[in-house]
Amino acid sequence: MKSANKIKGVIAAAITPLSEDFSPQLENVPEYLAHLSRRGCHGALLLGTTGEGPSFSPSERMAILKSALAVRETIPDFILLAGTGTPSLEETINLTHDAFDLGFDGVVVLPPYYYRNVPEEGLIKWYGTVIERAVPRGGKLYGYHIPQVSGVPLTIDLLARLLDAYPEQFAGIKNSSPEPEFTNELGARFGADLNIFSGNDRLFSKALENKAVGCITALANLCSIDSRQLWERYSKGEPINFLQEKLIKSRGLIDKYPPAPPLIKFILSQFYKFPNWTVRPPLVPVDPNLLEKIRSEAESVLEL
């Protein structure tokens, strides 16, 4: 496992290849991750929102995570993160423990998203129990802040308490909030003490200005070359506004045809010769009446 300060850069919130019967195409997982590496990604998050993580059983998740390890046979430094958060405390503990046993560099953990408006003490106890029972010494857990989806925000005070209680294992946060104010607050409160990954392409440059170490986004499946250039140019103090504008424009296409997984899979099939992998219900493939329109827009907007 890599130390937290080595987990940085452009990380794709990877899609999950699926057959027409909705089963994971395990043999395609390392091939796809290698594609992401060639496109400039430092690593990938498996089984996040874009990877349809909540749609899979624990045994399916483990099979997908195991298949991803093959990418390191040719790309040994490829960062692998696992999405292990579920509403079940025990299931989350087991998935997290097993991900570290496999050798994943870290886990990105949603809050328990079924019960909303729970007290902060409940979330502290939940995350603390996961850390104490499943995150080994040297292991890194990242909270996943996506309140517009999960309905359960990770507040600044909650993050501060977790960092104080578990300074070695609570490594940081994937911040997918659309609110620029929260990005500013994270930087002002934690600086470099918390490893912050932007989950919002529109706010990537703002996140870097507020001490973020990189991004974990759906758009990195398609536009990681731009994200990588922005990340590298920022580290050198070079102008990045034009790259941020490109990411905003590209993200506009993703947001125009939600949800992201079927759209990304369709675009990958059209421009990168991957199969047009399906999605698992309740998601459905892109509307057939929109395919040509989306293909044309993607060709012009994404500069593929």
The reply to whether 234 belongs to the active site is no
Residues sharing a CB contact under 8 Å with residue 217, sequence separation 6 or more, in sequence order:
12, 13, 198, 199, 200, 201, 204, 227
* Prior bond of 136 cis (ω within 30°): no
Selecting among 6, 74, 114, 115, the annotated active-site residue is 114
With 0-12 CB in 10 A as exposed, 13-18 as middle and 19+ as buried, what is 69? Answer: middle
Active site residue 114: yes
Total count of residues recorded for the chain: 304
Judge whether 49 counts as a catalytic residue.
yes
The candidate with the shortest Cα–Cα distance to 131, out of 163, 155, 158, 157, is: 163
Active site residue 144: yes
The DSSP 8-state label assigned to residue 290 in this structure reads: G
Helix ranges restricted to H, 191-289: 204-209, 220-235, 241-256, 260-271
Residues contacting residue 289 through CB under 8 Å, at least 6 positions apart = none
CA dihedral 185, 201, 219, 51 (to 10 degrees): 20
Contact 36, 224 (CB under 8 A): yes
- Residue in 8, 140, 174, 246 annotated catalytic: 174
Distance of alpha carbon 99 from alpha carbon 93, whole angstroms: 10
**Which one is catalytic: 144, 183, 257, 278?**
144
Query: Which one of 8, 32, 49, 127 is the catalytic residue?
Result: 49
Active site residues: 49, 114, 144, 174
